Structure 1
Amino acid sequence: MNLRILFAVALVLPAQALPVFADVSAKDQQTNTEYMLVTGIQDRRNLALDEGSETGSRLNISLRDLPASVSVISQDMIQQFGARTAMEAVETAVGMIGGTGVGSIPGYSTRGFSSNDITILRDGVRQNTNSQSARPLDSFMFDRIEVLKGPASLLHGEGAVGGAINYVTKMPTKDFVGEALVSAGSWDNYRSAIGMGGPTALENLYYRADFSHNENGGYVHGSSESYDALGGSLLWEASNTARFTLSGSYFEDDVESYYGTPVVYDAVINSDGVQEVRPANTSTDTLVNPRIASGTRRLNYNNLDNFARAENGYGRFISDLILSDNWSLRNELYLATQKLDWRNTEKTVWNPLTEMVDRSSFFLIYRDDTQVGNRLDLR
């Protein structure tokens, strides 16, 4: 049994006040009943019921009044749960299940829907389909993650029949903030991240910058993972009625895939009950004396140069204009890119005739996607 050891140090500035409680004990003389009155400051940082959500509505309706099931996982909650990746953070929402499929593509399921039935968004912008754009992402890079459970096609287009997951980028703040995180664990697991933001030397110009690195050696040979991310943004408040935001992020991952250790067996029993010595048909055969050979527990039968390497970029230029007391205009120009290079062996089967492992389903995949769009909102 492997005992996982994890060491983490996190620093968040400025510090946020925690609830302070006081209690008063008393006794009701008439009924001879003791009671305790507890008073304090309610900590509502993680509820966010009075905040709006782009995932559930484009009208900035608060979660409290929104007639939809939307969960918001804030950065505070992400740190409290110890969620290292965006997928681990999404799984903290009730009813959400995540998993990593072929080529290290994260996928989600909820309420009976899965895969491309659940749309992935970046700051409210749809990112093609999961199989094209979803990659492992460090949760440190996001201000929050919003999860909409239920039909979302009206807002986010074809395919979002099961829900939508929105990764919301950290943006500039008018007050200085700083964050740092370092962690280490078993299987050569290391993670570090730093971020800061606040005012610049120029009047009415604010910034935000973040960096994260995450690596894992894997528990079998040839299954290492490495994730790097860099993000930055600038906010210029040109006047009381005009503000402009330029933001960009870059994510890079390098993953070696592991598809399991082949089961060793002596023979098979076919559908007629006859024992034969041949490779198994997993649909109809029963294995005779199936086992995992002790010498194969840490071996990876993928090809030696297996990998899935991806580079994802995302940039936005936002113009917010207040036209009057009742009207505002917002224009958002965005650019999303993805490069994926993937080589892999999918199938490994024990052959009792040769007492060796047969490998098949070798393939190469290369993608180079670019998505450009513009959204104009008049409220």
Structure 2
Amino acid sequence: MKFLNQSMLVISVCSVIYNSPVIAQESALNGMTNSIDNNRIDDNQEIKGKKVLQQSGGADDSDDNNINNDEPRLIIVGNAIGELGLKDPSSTASRLGLSAMETPATIEMIDKAVMRARGYEKLSDAVESLPGVVTGEHPTAPSTFSMRGFSRGQITVLRDGLWIGPSTMVMRPQNIFNLERIEILRGPSSVINGVGAVAGTVNAITKTASAYQQENIDLMASYGRYNSYHVGVGIQQDLGENAWFNINISDYGSDGYVERTDQTSTNLTASALWKVSDDFSVKFSADYLEDDVGGYFGTPLVPTNLAREPLNHVVSTQQNETIDKAMRFKNYNVLDGVAESDQNFWRLDLQWHLNNDVTINNHLYQFNADRYWKNAEGYVYCTEVVGVCTDVGKIQRYYGYFLLDHEQDLLGNRTTLNWNQQFNQIENRLVAGIEVIDLSFDRLRGYRRQVPVVGSDSVDPYNPQPGLYGPEEVRGNSPTEIEMQAFFIEDVVKFNEQFSLVMAARYDEMDLDRKNYNAQGELENNGFTRQYTWESWRLGMVYQMNDELSFYGQYSDAKDPINSNIFLVNANQNFDLTKARQWEVGVKSIWFDGKAETTLAYYDIERDDIFERFSLDSVTNIGGRTSNGFELSLTMHANERWRLGANAAYTQAEFKASSNFVELAGNTPPNVAEWTANTWLSFHNIGDLPIEIGTSLHYVGDRYGDNPNTVKLKSYWLADLFAAWQFDKYRVSARIDNLLDEEFIQWSDVFYLHQTDPGFIYANQLMLGAPRTYRLMFEVSI
């Protein structure tokens, strides 16, 4: 790999290091039902003689799990309804240590205590609780998101603040137990987080070693319906006066709510911190994940007049199709279907304080992954004898046999310099950095073309005999090499206590080489080599009327290549840079004597050159996309026992025409709901006992399941119920999800809908969401 000479010339004035009030609590579990606001403290306040550090975590330059923590740290906990964290810094939104209140953007944070108190098991469980977010769990792209009118590869997913590849390629169902928190930054953010961040960034921040951490052992075990289980062990200890370690291992498994869809996930995260001196620290981290996401690829659509129990309240189509309830829990995949992954993420972090105002950070990291799919993925209900449909009333799978093998290796390095200074009443903070990435990606795929059609390729809709995958017909292999270099700079000028200007700019270079080999290993002529250069920037203003009320405005510009679909395009297709711009205004406030927090934002985004997959091995430029809407979030401690949380979002999105593609113009993009909402209500200390009970509601409005807008996914409400009992270091909780056993479709993959052309009868199916589930959880902190 070629590395740039990492040298930086920085000419600026900067500000003093910023410290934010925090949320803290002495015990890892005690007081999970207490008001977090009551535990907010001033920067210099001490608890039992130990100064409390900022609440933040993870792996970037500005968070409190960073390796410069040289003071005692208290464990942060909360109950099922968390704060909005307006006084907390976010490394996902800025590397300047700005709090959410000081940042001209919408930022959301969910910490580990809230996630565990709500009973979340996967990252997607937590993210879908946020305003305007729709999530999907399709096996070909686990933990996929729709946000602000965009979806899939247009939302960047980071691991501890670092980009490890296109989100649709690298995202897996992350175990919550290993996470410190999740941060979400809305809107185009490639200026901060690199390629693909058009609609936003989701940053999964793992637990990590920190200086002077409390020695602690956490144990967790849960069991629920469908033989689902989740166990975890976490240990944080010191290794002497100047070294500490943190290790967490979790294991998840379930039989699945559809037959033969066993799911497993094992995640090990470990880190060791060595404080070499007062000014220099070293941290080494390892992250291993092995999983199998199960083999449920959807339930076929059938003609409404032929369905035994039509679920017309779930879906409607212009072709008069529906989902048959009698097929709801049937699996049409083969018996030996596989959708598994094995990945490792290593990193070495160095931090050097040159003086009180200048800090250098360096992050060297490597990510490698092997992913493998081999399934009968596509199913079509045959309504006539045509093509490979030889039996009316059967489910045909012939073209649905598909295998895919990913081999990914990534090596990267990021170096940043933070420089803070103050001139009279003006504070200025600046960070500048260089990032280099070398990505190697092999994509081998295969599907039916030459293997003869046999009787077992079609199955009975109500009694499918799965059979085996059979002959593996390989189409070819497409190795892709990407070398990326970026220089970025971010600066905030605080003119006075009220007004500040926040600016950022980034310059990127990418060298891309794509080759295509056929099944015989011969080089085809549709590969390509491209070089890209682009700039992105952001300009924002913040006006703080006081410590509890902030107004902001922002304009951001973003350009990047077409992201994950770069592995599907060929030389004869237009795959130049895409462009996006957004403006956003909003208000953030803390009120009701600090017992309530509110955020309100309005945004407008426009992007050109959107690519969609229209066949197994190619994509098409379908024009641009526009989106606007508002998002509202609220948390409140009504009194000492009652707590309330709520959010809502309105999104209006549509395709716009390109010069060579107009047929989708004016349509609503799939998986974009006009309205979404969430509410939580909890009551604790019932009868002066350490018991908390609560409920939550999750609403997703009507969406379209395809680009032509011929398939409508109907709106749904999900109600959940939870209760917890806590005594000393122990916590026992119970949870019922989808209490009313609502039938619903959570997500649609457009390539698996209406692919029924007689020459390619591939797929016409949708995935139904989980029915009522329940589980019991036990936790202890030693």
Q: Tell me how large the CA RMSD over aligned residues is.
A: 2.5
Query: What one-letter code is carried by the residue in structure 2 that aligns with 1:42?
Result: N
* Distance verdict in 2 for CA 1:313–1:264, change over 3 Å: same
- Secondary structure (helix, strand or coil) at the match of 1:329 reads strand
Render the CA deviation track for 1:220-253: whole Å, top value 9, x for unaligned: 2221100101110000111111111101110111
What TM-score does the superposition give when structure 2 sets the normalisation length?
A: 0.40
| 2:184 is aligned with 1:184 | no
Alignment of 1:11-30 (within 5 A): 14-17=28-31
Match of residue 130 from structure 1 = 167
Q: Equivalent residues in 2 for 1:70-109 (5 A)? A: 70-109=107-146
Of 409, 413, 422, the residue aligned with 1:370 is 409
Match of 1:199 among 213, 228, 238: 238
Taking the aligned partners of 1:41 and 1:58, their CA distance within structure 2 comes to: 25
Matched, 1:211 2:207: no
User: Is 1:160 paired with 2:156?
Assistant: no
After TM superposition, list the pairs within 5 Å mapping 1:346-357 onto structure 2: 346-351=377-382, 353-357=391-395
User: For the structure 1 residues 105 and 242, does the alpha-carbon distance in structure 2 shift closer, same or farther, using more than 3 Å as the test?
Assistant: same
Query: Residue 52 of structure 1 aligns with which residue?
Result: 89
Distance 1:251 1:102 in 2: 16
Indicate yes or no: 2:376 matched with 1:345: yes
- Please name the residue that 1:321 is paired with: 352
Q: TM-score, normalised by structure 1?
A: 0.81
- What letter corresponds to residue 119 of structure 1 in structure 2? T
Residues 105 and 130 of structure 1 are in contact (CA less than 8 Å); yes or no, is this contact kept in structure 2?
no
Pick closer, same or farther for the CA change 1:123–1:285 going to 2, 3 Å.
closer
Contact map agreement 2:87 2:100 (CA 8 A) in 1: yes
Map Cα deviations across residues 246-267 of structure 1 (whole Å, 9 max, x no partner). 0111011113221333456598
Are the counterparts in 1 of residues 155 and 202 from structure 2 also a CA contact under 8 Å? yes
Aligned partner of 2:288 among 247, 250, 253: 250
Match 1:143 to one of 180, 205, 223? 180
Q: In the TM superposition, what whole-angstrom CA distance separates every residue of 1:31-76 from its partner, at most 9, and x where no partner exists? A: xxxxxxxxx9724564333332110001111222111111111001
Q: CA deviation at 1:351?
A: 3.0
- What's the offset of the Cα at 1:18? 5.9
- Give the letter for the 1:246 counterpart: F
Q: Secondary structure at the match of 1:132?
A: helix
**Paired residue for 1:230, among 254, 261, 268?**
268
Distance between the aligned counterparts of 1:157 and 1:92, measured in 2?
Answer: 25
Amino acid at match of 1:236: W
2-structure distance, mates of 1:291, 1:112: 26
Secondary structure of 1:155's counterpart equals: helix
State how many pairs are aligned. 333
User: What pairs with 1:273-288 in structure 2 (closer than 5 Å)?
Assistant: 285-286=319-320
Q: Which amino acid in the other structure matches residue 223 of structure 2? A: A
Conservation of the 8 A alpha-carbon contact between 1:19 and 1:42: no
Q: 1:63 aligns with which of 100, 105, 126?
A: 100
Provide the rounded CA distance (Å) in 2 between the counterparts of 1:291 and 1:97. Answer: 21
Q: 38, 42, 51: which one pairs with 2:38?
A: 42
CA distance, structure 2, for counterparts of residue 41 and residue 51 of structure 1: 12
Cα distance change, pair 267–358 in 1 and its aligned pair in 2 (3 A): farther
Q: Distance in 2 between matches of 1:303 and 1:41?
A: 53
Q: Which segment is superposed worse, 47-56 or 228-237?
A: 47-56
Summarize deviations over 1:67-113 as a string: whole Å, max 9, x none: 11111110011112211101111122222221112425221111111
Q: Which runs of 5+ in 1 are unaligned?
A: 1-11, 22-39, 269-281
SS in 2 for 1:366: strand
Q: Distance in 2 between matches of 1:267 and 1:14?
A: 57
Q: Which residue of 1 aligns with 2:736?
A: none
CA distance, structure 1, for counterparts of residue 27 and residue 255 of structure 2: 31
Contact 2:139 2:339 survives alignment (8 Å): no
1:359 CA drift (Å): 1.1
Q: Residue type of the partner of 1:206?
A: W
Unaligned runs of 5+ in 2: 1-25, 41-77, 307-315, 384-390, 419-782
The farther-off stretch of 350-359 and 333-342 is 350-359
The answer to whether the 8 Å contact 1:195/1:211 transfers is yes
Tell me the CA shift for residue 346 of structure 1.
2.3
**Which stretch of the first structure deviates more once superposed, 87-96 or 322-331?**
87-96
In structure 2, the CA distance between the partners of 1:62 and 1:266, relative to structure 1 (3 Å rule), is closer
Give the distance between the partners of 2:86 and 2:303, measured in 1 at CA. 56
- Equivalent residue, structure 2, for 1:274: none
Letter in 1 for 2:226: W
Amino acid at match of 1:253: D
Residues 242 and 367 of structure 1: CA distance in aligned 2, closer, same or farther (over 3 Å) = same
* Distance across 2 between alignment mates of 1:83 and 1:224: 19
Q: What is the CA-CA distance between 1:217 and the residue it aligns to?
A: 0.1
The residue aligned with 1:259 is 297
CA distance in 1, matches of 2:411, 2:156: 18
Aligned-partner Cα distance in 1 for 2:304–2:287:
53
